[in-house]
């Protein structure tokens, strides 16, 4: 593991709105967020539902906030009812796309084979994947965390080195539950993920996700190997999201 991996990239605070958000709420959110701009050393991104991508791109123009999507299909166009193409996401102004979120793995049954295809289609069409990995509670209790993460990260084995990539470690038991991994668990797990990433030739930024809130963000962001957060529930209100950005800024250093 390289010793200075934490300082290579700007920290990213990304808000995953999941299946939440109406147009009027998005307008208010962007208006309120603009009152508290992020410091230069913190990157901010929002992943609203697909219906809000085009209007959000417009609302966010002139603001230093990147746009991302929560998912993508692995084909460019055609008879795939209900799916969204990477070309459409680019057309809507997306930079990021979340791939492999545990809700898509567990609820929609997405597994490594499809996740690999999605990664490739994202890279081939100018999107930066935020690849999510994380173990279930029983897997952690059974001491299987590292083997689960290694298996999830194996989708990167055949990927070209140097591709645009952000990782997010989201322990499934911490998502939407109010439970967070302890700083010791976060530090240990991020170190393992960074080691695996180095071995696979993808020495990229690793975010933490799972009940990140304004009152725990600074402690989580201060853990070695944590280079930002993927925020769910607390990203739905501009003030709590801004407070997380400010907390991250205070520990990330300029
Ligand atoms: P919560 O912050 O609501 O736990 O969600 C985390 C998450 O799944 C972000 O992708």
CATH number, domain containing residue 133:
3.20.20.70
Whole-model pTM over 0.85? yes
Identify whether 1 is part of a domain.
no
pLDDT by 10-residue block (mean), the chain, 254 residues: 44 98 98 93 96 97 93 98 98 98 97 98 98 97 98 96 95 93 97 97 95 97 96 98 96 78
* pLDDT for residue 5: 36
Q: Exposed, middle or buried: residue 247 (CB in 10 Å: 0-12, 13-18, 19+)?
A: buried
Does the annotation count 101 as an active-site position?
yes
Identify whether 232 is part of a domain.
yes
* 62, two tokens: 């002139």
Residue whose CA is at the smallest distance from ligand 1 atom 2:
232
What whole-number distance in Å separates Cα of residue 177 and Cα of residue 195? 28
| Dist. CA 116 → ligand 1 center (Å) | 22
Residue from 206, 210, 236 whose mutation best tests the ligand 1 pocket (most atoms within 8 A of CB): 210
Pocket flag, ligand 1, residue 233 (CB < 6 Å): yes
Identify whether 4 is part of a domain.
no
Identify whether 241 is part of a domain.
yes
**DSSP label at residue 37:** P
* pLDDT for residue 6: 36
Domain span at residue 245? 11-252
* pLDDT for residue 9: 62
Q: Which atom of ligand 1 is nearest to the CA of 101?
A: 10
* pLDDT for residue 161: 86
CB of 165 closer than 8 Å to CB of 198: no
Identify whether 6 is part of a domain.
no
Mapped onto helix, strand or coil, the DSSP state of residue 247 is: helix
Identify whether 5 is part of a domain.
no
Pocket flag, ligand 1, residue 209 (CB < 6 Å): yes
Q: Which helix (H) or strand (E) holds 209?
A: strand 205-209
Residue from 177, 232, 240, 241 whose mutation best tests the ligand 1 pocket (most atoms within 8 A of CB): 232
Tally of domains in the chain: 1
Identify whether 3 is part of a domain.
no
Residue whose CA is at the smallest distance from ligand 1 atom 9:
232
Q: What's the N-to-C CA distance of the chain in angstroms?
A: 24
Going by C-alpha positions, the residue among 59, 66, 134 that lies closest to residue 96 is 66
* pLDDT for residue 7: 38
* pLDDT for residue 254: 63
Identify whether 2 is part of a domain.
no
């Amino acid at each position: 593991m390289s010793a200075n991996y934490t300082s290579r990239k700007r920290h990213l605070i990304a808000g995953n709105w999941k299946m939440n958000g109406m147009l009027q709420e998005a307008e208010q959110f962007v208006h309120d967020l603009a009152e508290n701009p992020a410091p230069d050393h913190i990157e901010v991104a929002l992943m609203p539902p697909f219906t809000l991508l085009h209007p959000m791109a417009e609302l966010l123009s002139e603001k230093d906030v990147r746009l991302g999507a929560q998912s993508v299909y692995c084909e460019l166009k055609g008879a795939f009812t209900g799916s969204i193409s990477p070309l459409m996401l680019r057309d809507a102004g997306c930079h990021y796309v979340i791939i492999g979120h545990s809700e898509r793995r567990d609820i929609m049954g997405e597994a490594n084979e499809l996740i690999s295809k999605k990664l490739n289609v994202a890279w081939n069409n100018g999107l930066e994947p935020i690849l999510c990995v994380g173990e279930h509670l029983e897997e952690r209790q059974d001491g299987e965390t590292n083997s689960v993460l290694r298996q999830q990260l194996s989708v990167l084995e055949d990927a070209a080195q140097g591709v645009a990539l952000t990782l997010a470690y989201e322990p499934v038991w911490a998502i939407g539950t109010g439970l967070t991994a302890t700083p010791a668990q976060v530090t240990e797990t991020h170190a393992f993920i960074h080691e695996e990433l180095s071995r696979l030739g993808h020495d990229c930024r690793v975010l933490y996700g799972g009940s990140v809130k304004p009152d725990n963000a600074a402690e989580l962001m201060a853990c070695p190997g944590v280079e930002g957060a993927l925020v769910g529930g607390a990203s739905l209100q501009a003030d709590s999201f801004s407070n997380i950005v400010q907390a991250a800024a205070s520990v990330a250093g300029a």
